[in-house]
Structure 1
Amino acid sequence: MVTSRRRVKTGDGAGDLFIINENTGDIQATKRLDREEKPVYILRAQAINRKTGRPVEPESEFIIKIHDINDNEPIFTEEVYTATVPEMSDVGTFVIQVTATDADDPTYGNSAKVVYSILQGQPYFSVESETGIIKTALLNMDRENREQYQVVIQAKDMGGQMGGLSGTTTVNITLTDVNDNPPRFPQSRSI
């Protein structure tokens, strides 16, 4: 016959979010837990004599750390980015840097490791997979031929592995004019 029972006495979610089996001392969650809402819970429990109601041991503290899963996709800091770059820029000229963040735990696995790729905008532009820096990728882009470019960048977590979650953003890039056309006289008519 069990002469003592255990009970969760105080702490985050004591008696509501967490319950304790009075016979075994096992602590169970009563609801689904989300690490992004609260990563750590601290509970205090104590064994109590069933007959007298008095403690049979000192109060114990339990630290419950919520294990992360990959349940958040990368989110860009801006929905649409706008950038300019001079026409006729050298290949590899910096245009803009895009940034995506992932709410998953960066200290556990690759859930929050974001890599960037370009979905639309090649062969004119490229993106560095680790940094999100967009650069020119084609020589002699001429504003007089085409002035506007729409580039779509994807950020994928899990280091880009299969099964990772992703998000996208659009970058509107305008070529700015440089002095690359000499003045011309209109054709004159002979009199």
Structure 2
Amino acid sequence: MSRRSCLAFAMPAVAACALVLTSCGEQTPGGLPAGGQPQSSAGSTPAAAVTEEPVTARDDVSDADDPIVVKIGEREFATNMAIYRKYDGAKGGPLDLQAPVAPAEELVGGKKQDYVSGTIYWSPETGAQIVRGQIHVAYLDNGGPTGQLGWPVGDEIIEGAAVFSDFQRGQIRLENQAIRIIEHTS
């Protein structure tokens, strides 16, 4: 078989692959198109208007616990979509975590993933939240998610000279280089 006939035989297959790939649109991890909304097929009428809003702190989306593998260089790290979204959203900002150091780990009631500069904790009730530095050390010293404070409910906040993180049953504050744990009473 000559080179010319091999090329002629392969061209329809290459064209079909190119057509399939271009019709998929831009993709993000987890298989959703850019923007996180499924694409509607041509000629179909959407059931409701789709508005693009940022993902809330709770990650109230159905794929939050869907597995995903993040590849950094030659290393691969298993995680879930909610943790990935939080990690990706923090890149380049004040809560940038740098690279993952381990895959996501199952915990009672959720997951966590460690990074060079902190940890993301995720539970279905509280969503994905970043805990870092001295606040993270104090959180672990108090039992982490299964301890007296429970799961984090928000990322750290800077308020004047204080930095704090809120949890289900309390708050950890770093102020004047001193850590203070405030438990909520019920």
- TM-score, with structure 1 as normaliser: 0.23
Q: Which has the higher strand share?
A: 1
Higher relative contact order (CA 8 A, sep 6+): 1
Q: Which has the higher helix share?
A: 2
Instruction: Please tell me whether Structure 1 or Structure 2 has the larger radius of gyration of its CA atoms.
Output: 1
